[in-house]
Amino acid sequence: MSKKPLILVSNDDGITSKGIRVLVNVMQQLGEVVVVAPDSPQSGMGHAITIGETLRLYEEDIFEGVQAYKSSGTPADCVKLAKHYVLKDRQPDLVVSGINHGSNTSISVLYSGTMSAAIEGALEGLPSIGFSLCDYSSKAEFSHVEEYVYKISKQVLENGISKGVALNVNFPPKRFEAIKGIKVCRQAHAKWQEEFSERYDPNGRKYFWMAGNFVNFDKGEDNDEWAIANNFVSIVPCQYDLTAHHAINQINQDWKWEEF
């Protein structure tokens, strides 16, 4: 890597979050860094984009030696703005998102703003990684993941990944024992079981507050939930093509269109 790689950094926790600062510091060891990130937290936004409203973009002097911008948009908006406006004359060698403050394992990848920034990068044909720390504590420690962020990003820069693929990387919380290693695995079969609390505002108008519990149905040892529970870093290669290819033949064989 004689020429410094150009690395685009984004996230969903906002440009002032601890996780993005850690990520920027690691990426500066690997290349030239440009940041385009939301101006406020955007967790759970999924792949939402801003349509019919203004998008604002402001340059920020927040990371030493790094060109950085904050946007009023979603994580996906940020990557779009970076690719087509901020870096319109340049091609990023890598897109990284995070480090998210909280897990994005299993089904959470669908709701994750962190992963949507990475997947938007993959949509643009760029090698992309989403990093998340499975610790929701306000005092969560990130120091134990830095070497893995560096190693994984370096591997992608040197070896590449398949077109249209974004890596969903999750780290276990800091424990007494060191991380055991890395597992390249599949997404666990699990889901969020939602609960809705019915409440009333001071004016007597009803509203709902969504909560719920994460339910893991997966008993396998080859998935991201198992990896995190057993103190491994999990890497799940993700794609944006949601076609259920196995269902095409079933529909063609079993459905009787001539009966209509």
174-186 pLDDT tens trace: 999 999 999 999 9
Would you state the pLDDT for residue 171? 98
Summarised one tens digit per residue, pLDDT across range 16-59 is 999 999 999 999 999 999 999 999 998 888 899 999 999 999 99
Domain count, the chain: 1
CA distance 33 to 92: 9
CA distance 2 to 25: 20
Would you state the pLDDT for residue 258? 78
Kindly state whether residue 213 falls inside one of the protein's structural domains: no
> What CATH number should be reported for the domain holding residue 75?
3.40.1210.10
Cβ atoms of 110 and 26 closer than 8 Å? no
Q: Which residues make beta-bridge pairs with 213?
A: 193
Mapping DSSP to helix (H, G, I), strand (E, B) and coil, where does residue 116 land?
helix
What's at 4, amino acid-wise? K
Would you state the pLDDT for residue 260? 65
Summarised one tens digit per residue, pLDDT across range 55-113 is 999 999 999 999 999 999 999 999 999 999 999 999 999 999 999 999 999 999 999 99
Confidence of residue 1 (pLDDT cuts 50, 70, 90): very low
Cβ atoms of 160 and 37 closer than 8 Å? no
CA distance 86 to 65: 17
Would you state the pLDDT for residue 42? 86
Would you state the pLDDT for residue 137? 86
According to the annotation, is 12 in a ligand binding site?
yes
Spatial CB neighbours of 89, under 8 Å, sequence gap ≥ 6? none
Cα dihedral 65→98→43→110 (10° resolution): 140
- If you average pLDDT over residues 2-18, what whole number do you get? 93
Kindly state whether residue 260 falls inside one of the protein's structural domains: no
Kindly state whether residue 228 falls inside one of the protein's structural domains: yes
Is residue 152 scored above 90 in pLDDT?
Answer: yes
Q: Which residues make beta-bridge pairs with 191?
A: 215
Kindly state whether residue 137 falls inside one of the protein's structural domains: yes
Cβ atoms of 93 and 157 closer than 8 Å? yes
For residue 114, what are the domain limits? 6-188+221-241
Closest CA to 45 of 152, 137, 117, 153: 117
According to the annotation, is 100 in a ligand binding site?
yes
Would you state the pLDDT for residue 241? 92
- Mean residue pLDDT of the chain comes to 94
Kindly state whether residue 24 falls inside one of the protein's structural domains: yes
More confident residue, 3 or 111: 111
Confidence of residue 212 (pLDDT cuts 50, 70, 90): confident
CA distance 129 to 127: 7
Angle of CA points 80, 82, 240, to nearest 5° = 40
Would you state the pLDDT for residue 75? 97
Is residue 156 scored above 50 in pLDDT?
Answer: yes
Kindly state whether residue 138 falls inside one of the protein's structural domains: yes
Cβ atoms of 117 and 78 closer than 8 Å? yes
CA distance 165 to 237: 6
According to the annotation, is 11 in a ligand binding site?
no
Is residue 236 scored above 90 in pLDDT?
Answer: yes
User: What's the DSSP call for residue 29?
Assistant: T
Cβ atoms of 169 and 152 closer than 8 Å? yes
Kindly state whether residue 211 falls inside one of the protein's structural domains: no
Would you state the pLDDT for residue 45? 86
Kindly state whether residue 132 falls inside one of the protein's structural domains: yes
Cβ atoms of 216 and 151 closer than 8 Å? no
Summarised one tens digit per residue, pLDDT across range 237-256 is 999 999 999 999 999 999 98
Confidence of residue 221 (pLDDT cuts 50, 70, 90): very high
Closest CA to 114 of 196, 27, 19, 39: 19
* Dihedral sign computed on CA atoms, order 54, 239, 91, 29: positive
Distances in Å between the Cα of 82 and the Cα atoms of 9, 48, 95, 108, 227 are 9, 16, 10, 25, 33
Confidence of residue 2 (pLDDT cuts 50, 70, 90): low
